[in-house]
Structures are given as C-alpha cells and as structure tokens.
Amino acid sequence: MTGRPIIRMVFSLAANTLAAAWRAVGPVTSPVARLGRLAALRARAGTAVPASTQFDGPVRVGEGVLRLSLGAACRLGRDVYLETSEGGRIELGSRVRLNSGVFVVSYARVRIGDNCLIGERVSIRDADHGSAPGTPMRDQPHVSAPITIGDDVWIGCGAVILKGVTIGSGAIIGAGSVVTKDVPPMGIAVGAPARVVRVRGEPGGGS
C-alpha cells in the first residue's frame, strides 16, 4: 500500500484517536474563551471575580446589576443562570461547583458555603410571588427570605431549594427533592417535600 491510501489511513487513525480523546476528557474551554467569560462576569458583577474561577461554558446573567461574590476556585457549568433583584445577593464560598443548568435567583440573599456540589438543573430561589386572592399573582410583590447552605453540601440533580431554608454543613439533598424546611447538619433529605431520612455518621446513616 502506497501513496494516497496510506495518507488516508494515517489521517483516519489520527481522527479516531482525537475523537476518542475528546470523548474521554470532554470539551476544554480555551484560555481566550475563559478570560472572556471571566471579564464578562466581572463586568456584570461589578466586583472582583477570582482569576481561579473555572467555566465549562457560557454563564447567563439576569438583567440589571448582578450582586455576586465568589470564593477561590469555583467552577460554573454551562448555562448556569445567576440573577439578583431588589436587594438580593448571591454569595459563593470557595471551591463551589455549580453544574450545568443551575438557577440561582436572589431577592434577599443566597449564601452557599465552601466545597459544595450543586447538581445539574438545581433551582435555588429565595423568593416567590405573593398569592393573596383578588389580584393576579403575577402582579403581586415578591415575598423573600434568605437561603443559607453550609459547607460541604451535596445537592442532587433537579432539586429545588425554596425561600427561607437553611441547609446545614455536610448535608445531602436527594435528586428531585423539594426543600421547604431546614435540613440539619449531616442530614440526608429526600422527597417532595423533602424530609430527613438519615443522618451521616450515625448507625445506618452512611459515611
């Protein structure tokens, strides 16, 4: 085998090798794209965003000023959505991982501690519409209360965290759960509405 068939075979092998590598490690954001996203987020937040912030893809931001503070080495997934309205503020500790499609919307304050893992499509909102009869709900003012999430919390895919909730450090929230009440430190909460089924570290509670 000589000439063009050999060239085609070499290119085919190279393409297959690159495709396998791409599947293994996934897309890698270029330094230029990362710096662009970093600059854009800094401009919208109006405050310092650490250079150690990582991006898996574009981050979406609501209208108006984004009142955001980030600790070191946070990682923001593709299509994460961040919004602050009225007096709202979003505060992320260090090494927080927001996976793809996470929504964080604040009218009061959302605080997420260090080393937290937030799964895909989680919704964290510290406000909802008023619901008094006689006026369309879309025309009523928002009712808000701060959300506090401690350190080392894992929130599973598709969970919903509602206003006024405190989730203690070390807690786990199961996928698809709707958290309407406080979860104690190290608690494992599942369901809609979520309830604590075990406590990590206790007999039968998991590690």
Q: For 134-191, what is each residue's pLDDT tens digit? A: 999 989 999 999 999 999 999 999 999 999 999 999 999 999 999 999 999 999 999 9
Pick the closest to residue 76 from 47, 24, 17, 34 (CA basis): 34
The conformational region for residue 206 under phi > 0 = left, psi -120 to 50 = alpha, else beta, is left
Architecture of domain 25-199: 3 Solenoid (2.160)
pLDDT at 11 over 50: no
- In this structure, what token pair is assigned to residue 199? 């406590």
What is the pLDDT, as a whole number, of residue 15? 47
Cβ atoms < 10 Å from Cβ of 93? 20
Residue 206 pLDDT grade (very low, low, confident, very high; cuts 50, 70, 90): low
Q: What is the pLDDT of residues 82-94, one digit of tens each?
A: 999 999 999 999 9
- The amino acid at 13: L
Is it the case that residue 14 has pLDDT exceeding 50?
no
Tell me the per-residue pLDDT of 92-121, one tens digit each, with 9 for 90 and over: 999 999 999 999 999 999 999 999 999 999
**Helix, strand or coil for residue 96?**
coil
Give pLDDT, residue 38: 80
Comparing 67 with 16, which gets the higher pLDDT?
67
Model pTM above 0.85: no
Tokens for 7, please give them. Answer: 């060239």
Q: Is 142 a catalytic residue?
A: no
Are the CB atoms for 130 and 108 separated by under 8 Å? no
Q: Which amino acid is at 54?
A: Q
pLDDT score for 7: 46
pLDDT value of position 156? 98
pLDDT tens for residues 17-59? 434 433 333 344 566 677 778 888 877 776 678 889 999 988 9
The pLDDT value given to residue 178: 98
Given the residues 129, 141, 201, 206, select the one marked as catalytic.
129
DSSP string over 168-199: -TT-EE-TT-EE-S-B-TTEEEETTTTEEEEE
Q: What's the pLDDT at 25?
A: 35
The domain locations on the chain are 25-199
How high is the pLDDT of residue 3? Answer: 54
pLDDT at 114: 98
**Residue 26, pLDDT score:** 39
